[in-house]
Structure 1
């Protein structure tokens, strides 16, 4: 099973001090425990926006991906990329992966209001914008034939309540944060791997 991680710094594992505590290795280990032999490729990089997915998709397809996990949206939000623009770029990336026979699981934009750098007076606005962006992304992913893993619903309350979920930069996840995200992603990723095996 060739598992590929695409997207931004969260998919790349920024914030964790150990590679094995990042999303790719954590998800690969879950698949191995489910009986899959797994090769892992990480094409994600810090700072990536939806516009950067095209090149990542080419690399994933060239490597022969079976399952792709895409984590994208935070940098689109921080750089004020219009939702329809970013969502169309995500749609095209998912559609290209599906056309190549790859199962695709997407984690949409996080709720950036929980980041400590956001002033309290702006948190409601930031939360609403984040939620709206993720909703447009979700619709685009479904249209393209991908699956949305509702990671944000599962992990946002935990990140909001527990500062240890964040790394020292107070923006990226810590090892504990990555474990929580992987747990939320795992059911959709395992189901995608099972479909690919069949």
Structure 2
């Protein structure tokens, strides 16, 4: 049963904001195209479908944790060249090391994906029930100006679909757009403005869902993406180091929904002894 919320005041405010942002985006569209041509786009790594083992080894017969990774270029590994450097694999390795269990992660993400693409083209590909789904989406809804009311409906439908897989969902907030040096001014201002709208819509869609955990990745590690080495050569996507910091921000929520927070605490206590 769909849980799509009624539009309400938030969408009314968002529509007003949209009316201000869209003309600005129109004015700078040519600038954006020129920037993309200048910097190009990094290729994504091969589709992720790997099992990682805890660095310290796992007990014989330890159950394998299943992670399903959905989203856009950030989850698809654009900006790095080795699968081990991609966000899904780095996250899986951290979960494996903390939980003491092997982790099998399957990446369904694709560069350029919007919320509707995850719903229509990624979730239907799932054939194995995950223990947790991890979602990174929204950047292309910002740059593609998905209308607020449409995005609210699609976000709710997507979270319904992910919940229907039978596993909790860990969802990342939008990234720190100001660190993406690819975007010139005034395109940056337009993206920041509409990014605030998209972020608010995502928070509303995720609210009152016990199985959905929205992580403020931007608040946790966003400022670090102004540091050298956290962005890839295209100045738009994270580097291996940057994806590692995003994984660091997401892993507590993943461990929490997997019921392994106590395991992590015990592991740290043993290491301290």
TM-score normalised per structure 2: 0.66
**1:157 paired residue number:** 223
> Is 1:22 equivalent to 2:95 in the alignment?
no
- Once the two structures are TM-superposed, the CA of residue 124 in structure 1 deviates from its matched residue by 4.4
Q: What is the root-mean-square deviation of aligned Cα atoms in Å?
A: 1.8
**2:75 paired residue number:** 11
Give the secondary-structure state (helix, strand or coil) at the position aligned to 1:40: strand
- Once the two structures are TM-superposed, the CA of residue 120 in structure 1 deviates from its matched residue by 4.1
Q: Is the 8 A contact 2:136 2:173 kept in 1?
A: yes
Matches within 5 A, 1:5-154: 5-33=69-97, 34-54=99-119, 55-60=121-126, 62-121=127-186, 123-144=188-209, 145-154=211-220
Give the secondary-structure state (helix, strand or coil) at the position aligned to 1:80: coil
1:144-184 residue CA offsets vs partner (Å, 9 max, x unmatched) = 5411011111222111x214211111111101110111111
Q: Is the 8 A contact 2:172 2:217 kept in 1?
A: yes
Q: How many residue pairs align between the two structures?
A: 193
1:57-111 residue CA offsets vs partner (Å, 9 max, x unmatched) = 1223x22122100000011111111233223212211112212311101113224
2:75 and 2:143 map into 1 onto residues whose CA distance is 17
1:50 and 1:152 map into 2 onto residues whose CA distance is 19
1:24 and 1:89 map into 2 onto residues whose CA distance is 23
Give the secondary-structure state (helix, strand or coil) at the position aligned to 1:187: helix
Q: Is the 8 A contact 1:69 1:104 kept in 2?
A: yes
Q: Is the 8 A contact 1:105 1:147 kept in 2?
A: yes
